[in-house]
């Protein structure tokens, strides 16, 4: 999806692109853009939920102004991994680590959603900065939606035997090569501002197992 975010004072707003399944034990993969005061950068918030359990947040600043033009945000989701990319540059990889007991969303079909909503109880500086409704309407723009997917209908997948759709189906087994891994490390070194895997205060009894897995 190509997106152009709310310009100016966007504090308190959240612009989203996400996948989610229904129910109380839902799966979810999130791109959430947390607005900020004029002149301050957006926070890109990513998260993964499996069976209603999340707490897998990583947050980033972007290396460009996401309100000035459209940029492409992509979620690659297959049985082995989830990859978040911005203009083709990977920023995060969440691997299937079921082997160490980490839940991974691969058993429920999900729909894609986009939204713009008010979350001034937490979105900007932990809720300290509220939405200035005198700046309304807040407008984000979307275009160029494209998907390659297995479509779930009447209890069956459109992908026979798990094979991919489209011209190659490569997304179903896509992984990061060495060049992409190097680019992701560059983003995480220079633009990551929060990683649940380093938050020892949040997990005083020990970080999640997947944080130590190769």
Q: Which CATH number does the domain housing residue 155 bear?
A: 2.60.120.200
Rounded CA separation 120/54 (Å): 21
Give, rounded to a whole angstrom, the gap between the first and last alpha carbons of the chain: 30
- The C-alpha atoms of residue 93 and residue 7 are separated, in whole angstroms, by 29
Cβ atoms of 122 and 129 closer than 8 Å:
no
Q: Residue 164 pLDDT > 80, yes or no?
A: no
Catalytic residue among 32, 57, 148, 210: 32
* pLDDT band, very low/low/confident/very high, at 157 (cuts 50, 70, 90): confident
Q: What is the pLDDT of residues 103-152, one digit of tens each?
A: 999 999 999 999 999 999 999 999 999 999 999 999 999 999 999 998 88
Q: Give how many domains the chain has, as a whole number.
A: 1
Q: What are phi and psi of 191, to 5 degrees?
A: -130, -10
Owner of token pair 């986009």? 114
Domain span at residue 118? 2-211
Residue 28 annotated to the active site = yes
Of 28, 148, 182, 210, which residue is the catalytic one? Answer: 28
Predicted TM-score of the model (pTM): 0.93
The verdict on whether 32 is a catalytic residue reads: yes
């Amino acid at each position: 999806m190509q997106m152009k975010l709310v310009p100016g004072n966007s504090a308190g707003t959240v612009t989203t692109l996400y996948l989610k399944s229904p129910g109380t034990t839902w799966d979810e993969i999130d791109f959430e853009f947390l607005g900020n005061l004029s002149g301050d950068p957006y926070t890109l918030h990513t998260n993964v939920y499996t069976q209603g359990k999340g707490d897998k947040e990583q947050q980033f600043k972007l290396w460009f102004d996401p309100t000035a033009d459209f940029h492409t945000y992509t979620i690659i989701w297959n049985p082995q991994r989830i990859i978040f990319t911005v203009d083709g540059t990977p920023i995060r990889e969440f691997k299937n680590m079921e082997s160490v007991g980490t839940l991974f969303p691969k058993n429920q079909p999900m729909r894609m959603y986009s939204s713009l909503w008010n979350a001034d109880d937490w979105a900007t500086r932990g809720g300290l900065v509220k939405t200035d409704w005198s700046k309304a309407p807040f407008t984000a723009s979307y275009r160029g939606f494209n998907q390659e997917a297995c479509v779930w209908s009447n209890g069956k997948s459109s992908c026979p035997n798990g094979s991919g759709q489209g011209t190659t189906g490569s997304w179903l087994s896509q992984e990061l090569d060495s060049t992409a891994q190097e680019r992701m490390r560059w983003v995480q070194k220079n633009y990551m501002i929060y990683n649940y895997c380093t938050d020892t205060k949040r997990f005083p009894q020990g970080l999640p197992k997947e944080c130590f897995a190769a």
